[in-house]
A and B are shown apart, each in its own frame.
Chain A
């Protein structure tokens, strides 16, 4: 037949380098910044924008800034940048609020204890998960409360009106998430239930809280909660905010958990049932462990939103981090043109560090869970 089509390669063509350079800065620039004329124009505009925006920003934050140890006069000088000296001077206020200075060791212990308990909890390979979780979610809040509030073991009582700053921000966020996790799980289970009354109640609860802004929830908690209680009951202001934040956040958490429940293959429910497990046994041993594991990134994202939302409690008069910064910005002793901006930059930086770290953690977990799924 057509033998002229026959071809056999006797010598392998060895790999040779690509024509022209394939790496190095020039190639990188051409590929990523100047690939087409449109790209080139965009790049030039982008560089111009950065040239315009970055030097003043740098000068404000570092270049012309007044660092700790500086004086208010330096901050008031023409063209001075951020007044970090002011932040340093009021730092304790931003962290502890009006907490008595000689009692700072108490929040410090709480901070240290919290960090020591939460870090191993975040590392998936760390041992003793159950004990660790029990310590963090049950023991730690109780210990912290008695330590911060005092009134026992000879500790001086420090009423919650004196709590403030980053401490309160963290307390609200942590209490919010710790209390809303069980509540959220129950609501999610209820919403998935085939018992009509329970399902309706859960749907109504979840949708109501998700529909309204947190600020109205906080108003409601701070104004209406005292009305709901028996006459003469005095509900602590911080506690009111905590109740509002928890209810609000549990509705969002319920929706996240529901996503995890729905993502579980039906076979898991059937397998559990076929083993003769009752509803609660099935849920506790089979369904929840898998569903929760899947929605950890979602829960962390909820936590980020909650953490940012804690700043709203300043509207009902609680001295969280943002409110202490806001209050300190009218401190006459440090009055300078950049006082307010410096305060906001500082508060922003604190919030950003926490939120960014959490969002990276959630991304990391997501990738980890993804690969675990494929294998």
Chain B
């Protein structure tokens, strides 16, 4: 107990048994003795049982041939591979699912958490219903649902659903194009690495100069204007091309000219108008495409009218946002950073003549040829883990944001900080301190929950190792100990990170 047991002893008659220190030692010896006795009893029993079954112990089985198939591995696998390779394959598959799941669950979870706090009643309500439904259903049930009721009910290979970007979905999983980089493409990869570093460096440098001198470096401001025009041009080009596809018969020259016009306007004071026009076109075209896909029975004219209305609303938002923006001298050079991040690799790609072909999956007589085939087990597991974990992350995010008192926003407002600065400098740093620790344990939970993949046949660690390997070798103790050691390692790494993070960000109190 936290308090020393020194009150219970009556001083005059203090016998040895009433001395708190001695009593503590006696207790501990008794407990330790009981534990040791219990463990020896178990070990003895186990040894007898193993002897009775003529089994040996030891990890030498890891270097024997496994002789079974694994449906999906990240490295070449054959029946002659060894048991330790099976262990590795399972571990890598676990990590793969965890990584993809964590990525999507974080995106969806943050969206849900913010949506639940939205002042928009409908959005907040939809997010609440999602969270309250998903949280209260067992994950295994959800996995069964996605796997047996959804993916297994997909059409056969011949009738595959075709999704955009040459992706196909059918009973055998998801067929996605396989990127086929050629030799020169290595340079593009190098350029991507370089541009990421350059973007971060320029961003930090610009912010430092801005803090130290009160203004962004003039070179950055100028480059930023150019970048603004280029980005505006590309965005406008995309928007007008989409529009051109919608109403056929618009020549390429007109589209190009309109995009140039938008780019020129974007660096003048008429920028709000040009941006509003682009926003209108985007609203119109994207919603039109979405609506025609969602409600094929509604007459196209009605859909077009609805989309145009939404486009107008988007234009209005964009107009107000742009009109409120400070002049480019006082703005964070985001367009420039985007241009560096995307532009350098694009330039290298063009200059070296590199080719990134995509091997598109093609339906042949009985199956698809080419592309990458993601097994349905993987798809269902990622989907299930994402949907489930996002509900919990959403709640953590909501809690973290709500933990920042409204007084903080008011203080920032009364100092004249604009909304973006308020979020960036005051609200988010405080919310993240609250969010990160539970977020980390959700990541750990997701990793542990990926073991349920065993129930739908995804070859992750528990399935391959604790399932198949244990069945074949009968080395129950060794196999289960190794599996537990893996998860224990994950857990220890997570808590090490959390301790470090908490120590770093803990608010200093008196």
A146 CB-CB contact with B under 8 Å: no
Tell me, yes or no, whether A197 is within 8 Å of chain B by CB. yes
Contact with B along A352-364 (1 / 0, CB 8 A): 1001100100000
Query: Given A42-B123, A344-B145, A356-B136, does the pair A228, B42 have CB atoms closer than 8 Å?
Result: yes
A230 at interface (Cβ–Cβ under 8 A)? yes
Tell me the nearest residue of chain B to A274, going by C-beta.
Answer: B7
Shortest CB distance A188–B (Å):
11
Which of chain A's residues 292-339 have a Cβ closer than 8 Å to chain B?
A: 304, 308-312, 314-315, 322, 326, 329, 337
Residues of B within 8 A of A211 (CB): 484, 487-488, 490-492
Closest-by-CB residue of A relative to B7 is A273
Q: Are A52 and B295 in contact (CB under 8 A)?
A: yes
Complex Cα–Cα for A35 and B120 (A): 8
The answer to whether B149 has its CB under 8 Å from any CB of chain A is yes
A193 to B32, CA, bound (A): 15
Task: Say if the beta carbon of A47 comes within 8 Å of chain B.
Answer: yes
Task: Tell yes or no: A18 within 8 A of B by CB.
Answer: no
Q: Which of A196, A212, A348, A359 contacts B137 (CB 8 A)?
A: A348
B452 touches A312 (CB 8 A): yes
Would A278 and B291 count as touching, CB distance under 8 A?
A: no
Q: Does A40 contact B (CB under 8 A)?
A: yes
Instruction: Assess A195 versus B3: contact at CB under 8 Å? Given A35-B119, A211-B487, A322-B138.
Output: no
Chain B residues within an 8 Å CB radius of A43: 120, 122-123
CB of B133 closer than 8 Å to a CB of A: yes
How long is the Cα–Cα vector from A274 to B5 in the complex, in angstroms? 10
Closest to B450 in A: A213
A182 to B26, CA, bound (A): 23
Interface residues of B in 125-140 (CB under 8 A from A): 126, 132-133, 135-140
Q: How large is the interface on B (under 10, 10 to 19, 20 to 34, 35 or more residues)?
A: 35 or more
**Cβ contact within 8 Å between A39 and B480:** no
Contact B138 A273 (CB under 8 A): no
Q: Which of B8, B52, B317, B483 contacts A216 (CB 8 A)?
A: B483
The yes or no answer to B310 lying at the interface (CB within 8 A) is yes
Contact A195 B27 (CB under 8 A): yes
Q: Which residues of A contact B48 (CB under 8 A)?
A: 230-231
Q: Is the CB of A42 within 8 A of B120?
A: yes
Closest beta carbon of chain A to B25's beta carbon, Å: 8
Within 8 A of A (CB), among B456-510: 462, 466, 470, 476-477, 480, 483-484, 487-488, 490-492
Contacts of B408 in A (CB 8 A): none
CA distance A167 to B243 in the complex (A): 60
Q: Is the CB of B487 within 8 A of A311?
A: no
A236 at the interface (CB under 8 A from B): no
Tell me whether A138 is interfacial, beta carbon within 8 Å: no
- A269 on the B face (CB < 8 A): yes
Among residues 6 to 56 in chain A, which have CB atoms less than 8 Å away from a CB atom of chain B?
32-33, 35-44, 46-52
Is the CB–CB distance between A192 and B2 below 8 Å?
yes
Chain B residues, Cβ within 8 Å of A51: 295
Interfacial residues, chain A to chain B (CB-CB below 8 A): 32-33, 35-44, 46-52, 189, 192-198, 201, 207-208, 210-213, 215-216, 219-220, 223-224, 226-231, 266, 269-270, 273-274, 276-279, 282-283, 304, 308-312, 314-315, 322, 326, 329, 337, 340-341, 344, 347-348, 351-352, 355-356, 359
A-B contact pairs, 15 of them (CB 8 A): A37-B316, A42-B122, A46-B126, A197-B32, A201-B32, A213-B449, A213-B451, A219-B470, A279-B1, A308-B139, A315-B455, A322-B144, A340-B148, A356-B136, A359-B136
Identify the 8 closest CB pairs spanning chains A and B, nearest first. Answer: A211-B491, A355-B136, A32-B121, A311-B138, A308-B138, A213-B448, A197-B28, A213-B451
